[in-house]
Structure formats: structure tokens, C-alpha cells
Chains A and B, each alone.
Chain A
Amino acid sequence: MSTTLGGLVLRSPVMVASGCGGTGRELAAYADLARLGAFVTRSITLDPRPGGPMPRMVETPGGLVNAVGFDNPGLEHFLATELPWLVSQDVPVVVSMAGASMGEYADLARRLGRAPGLAAVEVNLSAPDALGGGVFDVREPFQAAGVVSAVRRDLPRGLPVIAKLRADVFRAVETARAVAEAGADAVVVGNALPASLPDGRPGGLSGPAIRPLALRCVADVHAELPDLPIVGCGGISTAEDARSFLDAGATAVQVGTALLHDPTTAARLVAELAPEGAPTA
């Protein structure tokens, strides 16, 4: 069984969510990457980012609040040292990108468009704390659409653009429509939601605690935009969770926080969601 997502062919509907698979090498100890639907990188910025101060992640019942602050080595270093290895793993590699300005998004797209082996780009339009993280604030649907057009314009035609949206019940449909019109081939519905760390710093809440919110948004977006491919993301830990997102209209799902508690989750979900009789991981 394969899943098609805006032109991207996936061997499994289970993808690794941005920011929860390390550089890929760490996850490879617990999952055969080649069996995954796709590997999405942590968000890569044009320049290196040291990330935020400690603590960066705090446990809360059923979830984690994170303020990692876009810790990444910058595009150039990523292209030289991380992407080639990922591409060699025979898994569709989706690079998540975040920019400080429209210009940066265009720059990222232009340079990623020339990177060999890339399967798609994911535009992070839903950072829980965009201003604190120093990335372009895309609170309004027109801003999200602007970023997607800038990215689309600078990428080769055949390379899918996936827009990652916030599971905001009041804005999700409107934002999904705007980015689809701007050229997004698919949307990820669900990201860590704006929250606070116990010390008051802004962060993002992820994990099972936000699953019902993400599920609601997936259902709403699918009801209004039935032709738009959707990836459900938010607190998915079991095959049953994944099926509820697929039943609500998602074409694929992303697993994130669950991997931080049990790094074998992705491999297990791939096996459990494979059709009967198919070889399992």
C-alpha cells in the first residue's frame, strides 16, 4: 500500500514530525527509516541558531512544553552534513524550513530547490512562539499565503510544498484555504500550540493533551476543503489514534512527541497500519 500526498508517494502513512527525529541518525537505532512514510527534519533556518536557554522542555500531564528555539546548524551546514546521509537512507526526506522574513523564505526555497534527493519542503507556519523564536510571524492567513507563494515561486515545479498549520479551531480552515490557493500541495494540520513553561517563558504544548484539538481541526479542514491532502499531527501515539485522524479525512499522519517517550513508536505504527498480509517492520 502506498499513500500519495500532493504528488509525494509514501510507503506508509506514518511520517516523523519535525523536531522529533533528531538528525535522523539517532532515530535509526530504533526504526528502519526506509519503512517510514517520510522523515521531516527539524526546522532549518538560513543562519545557524544556538537555540534557547535551558530548560527547553518541561513535562506536563499528557504533554510536553518546549522552547527549543530553532536550535539548528543553519542551511549550509545542514545541506553539507545532514541531508546527504538522510537521502541515502532511502526514505522520502522533507525539509522543514523557518525564515525570519519573506526574503529568507525565498532564499531557503531557492537553495533547497537545488539540493539533490529532496522529496518535499514543509513550511513551518505555526511556530508556537514565532516572535520569540525570531521567525516571521504568520498569525494571519494572508501572511501564511504570502510565505507559501514566495516558497512556491522559487522551488522547481515538481517539488511539493507542504504548509504546517496551527490547530487553531477558529483559523485553521481559513488558513488552509489561503495556503492552498497560494500553491501548497498539502497541509499538515497541527503543531505544538502556544503555551507557557512553568517559569513563564513562551513555549509550545505538544502530546496527547492536544490530540482532540488537532483532530477537530483536521475534520473541519477536510469538510471545507475535501480535495486538499491533509497530514494529521498532534499527540498521535497509537494505531488507533492514527486511524481516527485518517477517518477524519487525513491522508497521512505525523508522529512527534510519542517518539520522545518511546523511540520505537514510529516503527510500531508503520507495522500496525500496514495492510494485512503486508510485510511488517
Chain B
Amino acid sequence: MTAAPAESPRPLGPLHVRALLLTTRKVGAYHHLTLSAPGIAERFRPGTFVALSVGAGDAAYRTRLARRSFWVHRVKPTGGHGLTIEIVVEAVGPGTRWLAGLGQGAEIDVTGPLGRPFSLPKESPDQKQVSCVLVGHGHSAAPLFPLAERLRERGCAVTLVLSAPDETHLLAALEARRSARAVTVVTGDGSVGLRGSLEAHLHGILERAAADVVYACGPAPLLHAVALTAEAQGAWSQVALEETLVCATGLCHGCAVPVVGEDGAPRTVRACVDGPVFRGDRVRWADLTGVDA
């Protein structure tokens, strides 16, 4: 059992624990893993994430050293294990295939919660309901579900927009209706909901919802489109970047994000500790994606 020292100077900071895999469910193209990771669920806030190690047994004898980072999709209580966390894994590489192949009872080293969470809208003084549109692509929609619940608790109007290339890559569209007032689905092949690219529908969706704040998670070009569309409509945007993280804990400076600081000066920050959630208008998109737009 590895655990962070009890006397952490940041009582709400991340923990490094050995988690127990309680269940694995295959849903469409994804594996949903439910983990008992003591202390992590209690510290979780929407937008924070966890980093998992690939390989069993003693950390010192593993050969795959980069961590695999996942959004926390759900926090729920279970009998006997307290609060558990659920992550969504798409088995695309050796690390994610290893994780997806694990059986119940497997042990995994987990660090979290990591990163800065989504900022929630302030209570509006004139009691006007804040309209929040949450936009997610594929399994990247995972962090939007707990965010939607939190926003609803605060009395916000929540519109959830889920996109995917096809139905098997659409994350939990049915469950989405529990936590959002309205759910819009866009698939590339039109197998469910609207057909086409999310970017093409974005303007209309934000306009209909009269969005005050847009939250988004997905590939950088989509986040860029969200940031631009939100700005054009006078809405704030909060985007959760999915950079490839190696240590995921802020130690290695391997996950550079070009931003503009509050003082207007350009700088490079770390996705894992300075993000992964950024204000859309703070990211220097052309430097991040290599596409000038």
C-alpha cells in the first residue's frame, strides 16, 4: 500500500493510493471502471482528474513509466467501499488496453484528484438563472456529468451537448437526461441525433440556450471553436484540455500550454497543475494547435 504522508501541507491536495478495481463495464466503445480509491472521491471537484499507473505490483519494476490520465466521470457511494470513482477508458494503446483488460479485484496505483477544477458561476444577485451549455466529444464528455449535477444544485439551467463520430462512441446519452434540462446529441454519421460535426451546430445551440457560460472538453480544435463561438456570443468559456500528460503531477514540465496571463503577457504553463481547465480566451490557440485561425 502506497499512500501520501498523512501530514500533507495541503490537506485537500492530491493523494497517491493503491486503488481496488470494483467493476468493469463495457459500454459501446468504452470500458467504465469503478475504483475504490480511498480519499480521492472525497476531494474530487468537477474538472479534476486522476492519473493511473500501468503495470501491477511494485512500482519500481514497471517498464511503462508514463501515467495514464482520466477524467472522473462519476462519484458514487457503494456499500462497503465508501465513495467510489468511475472513469471511462478507450482501449487504444498498450496502457489503456492493459487497464481495460483488468478484472475485478485488480490493484492500480492512482494519484488524484489532480488539476484545477471548472469554475462555477457566482450566484447572480438579480436571481437570474445562469444558462450553462456543456459541450463534450466522445469519452471526453466524462467530466461534464458531475459538473452538470453541481450546476443544477446551484440552480443553473444546464444544456448538455454530446457529440461522437457514431453511436458506440457516444457517452451515456440516456443518463445525461438525469443531470441536464436539455440534451442535444450530434453524431458524425447521424446514427443518433443531429448529423455532422459539432462545430457546425455550435452557433445555433449556444444561441438557442442563450448561453452565459460554455464548458467544453474534447480535442483542441473543438475547444478552440467553442472558445471563439462563446466569445462571439458574449459568453464565458471554460475548456478542459486533453494534453498527453507524463507525470500528471506538475513535476516534469512536459505538458506545455501556451496562454496569455492576466497581465496580458504570453507564457507557457503546465496543463496538469495550471489546468487542465482554462478560460477559453486565455489559451493561445494558434500556438497550441499549430493552426492560425
Contact = CB atoms under 8 A, between A and B. Distances in A.
A12 to B, nearest CB: 14
Contacts of B65: 59, 62-64, 207, 257, 260-261
Contacts of B58: 238
A207 B61 CA distance: 11
B250 interface: yes
A257 B246 CA distance: 11
B251 A259 contact: yes
A279 interface: no
B5 A54 contact: no
Nearest to B9: A28
A194 interface: no
A267 B253 contact: no
The range of chain A's interface size is 35 or more
Contacts of B253: 19, 22, 42, 51, 56, 68, 71
A29 interface: yes
B293 interface: no
Nearest to B245: A57
B60 interface: yes
A19 B252 contact: yes
Contacts of A53: 256
Contacts of A238: 58, 60
B2 A262 contact: yes
Interface in B40-84: 53, 58-60, 62-67
Contact of B249 (A22, A54, A241): A22
B174 interface: no
Contacts of A62: 63, 65
B53 A21 contact: no
A223 interface: no
Interface in A6-27: 19-23, 25-27
A30 B5 contact: yes
B2 A68 contact: no
The range of chain B's interface size is 35 or more
Nearest to A52: B256
A281 interface: yes
Residue of A23, A50, A262 most packed against chain B (CB within 10 A): A262
B251 to A, nearest CB: 4
Given A22-B253, A30-B4, A57 B66 contact: yes
A56 B254 contact: yes
Nearest to B288: A54
Interface in B10-48: 10, 13-14, 16
A55 interface: yes
Contacts of A237: 59-60
Nearest to B14: A29
A63 B66 CA distance: 9
B247 interface: yes
B57 to A, nearest CB: 12
Interface in B253-282: 253-256, 258, 267-268, 273
A68 to B, nearest CB: 5
B64 A59 contact: yes
A57 B252 contact: yes
Contact of B254 (A28, A29, A68): A68
Contact of A66 (B7, B60, B252, B273): B252
A30 B16 contact: yes
Contacts of B231: none
A64 B247 CA distance: 11
Residue of B7, B9, B58, B254 most packed against chain A (CB within 10 A): B254
Contact of B251 (A27, A55, A241, A267): A27
A57 B251 contact: no
Contacts of A267: 5
Given A19-B252, A262-B53, 16 more contacts: A21-B251, A22-B252, A22-B253, A29-B4, A50-B256, A51-B253, A51-B256, A53-B256, A62-B63, A71-B256, A207-B65, A258-B59, A261-B53, A261-B65, A262-B109, A265-B59
Interface of B: 2-5, 7-10, 13-14, 16, 53, 58-60, 62-67, 109, 111, 243-244, 246-247, 249-256, 258, 267-268, 273
19 contacts: A19-B253, A26-B273, A42-B253, A50-B256, A55-B244, A57-B252, A59-B64, A61-B63, A66-B252, A71-B253, A71-B256, A71-B268, A237-B60, A259-B251, A260-B66, A262-B53, A263-B249, A264-B2, A267-B5
- Please name the 7 residue pairs, one residue from A and one from B, whose CB atoms are nearest each other, closest first: A26-B250, A57-B254, A237-B60, A260-B247, A29-B13, A59-B66, A262-B59
